[in-house]
Structure formats: structure tokens, C-alpha cells
Amino acid sequence: MASLRDSMPATAQAIDELREVFGAELVNAQIRQALKGRPAIYAEEMVNGKLVTFGVKPQAMKEFPASFLECKAANAETKKGRK
């Protein structure tokens, strides 16, 4: 079985970014809760035309107002301008 990082590369990248912002301890705790079947974190990603999911989807889930990766790209551009 492939690792989650291999199965969901964009999600893994987003999780890494969350760890940088919120700290690995908090993010890893949420992942552990999801692995126990609790609706702590949920992700879905299209990989090679197949929907891959992780975690338990909450009953009422709101979408991000903008793509996380788009926000990340904008943040990277802002950081470049500060150097």
C-alpha cells in the first residue's frame, strides 16, 4: 500500500504548510484523530482521474473561500517582495 504522501501529493504539501503555520504538534494531533475515525480533518484530491480521500467528512462542511494552494502561491510572492 502506498503512503498517504505518495497517494495524495498536493494534500501532503498542504499539510506540510499547515505544520509550518500552526506547528507540527497541533496538525499531527488532528491527523491522529482522523485516523481514529473522528471528523478532525478531511481531504480529497483527484489523482490520475481518481478521487482519493483521507479522514472523516464532517456532516456540514464549508468550502474554503479560495484554494489553499492559491493562497500559498500568493503568500510566496509576498515573501519574495520582502527580501
- Do the beta carbons of residue 3 and residue 15 sit within 8 Å? no
- Do the beta carbons of residue 41 and residue 26 sit within 8 Å? no
- The more confident residue out of 49 and 81 is 49
pLDDT digits (tens, 9 = 90+) for 3-61: 878 889 999 999 999 999 999 999 999 999 888 888 888 899 998 899 998 888 876 55
Which pLDDT score, from 0 to 100, does residue 56 have?
82
- Which SS3 state, helix, strand or coil, does residue 9 take? helix
Which pLDDT score, from 0 to 100, does residue 58 have?
73
Query: What is the Cα–Cα distance from 35 to 46, expressed in whole angstroms?
Result: 20
Query: What is the Cα–Cα distance from 8 to 76, expressed in whole angstroms?
Result: 22
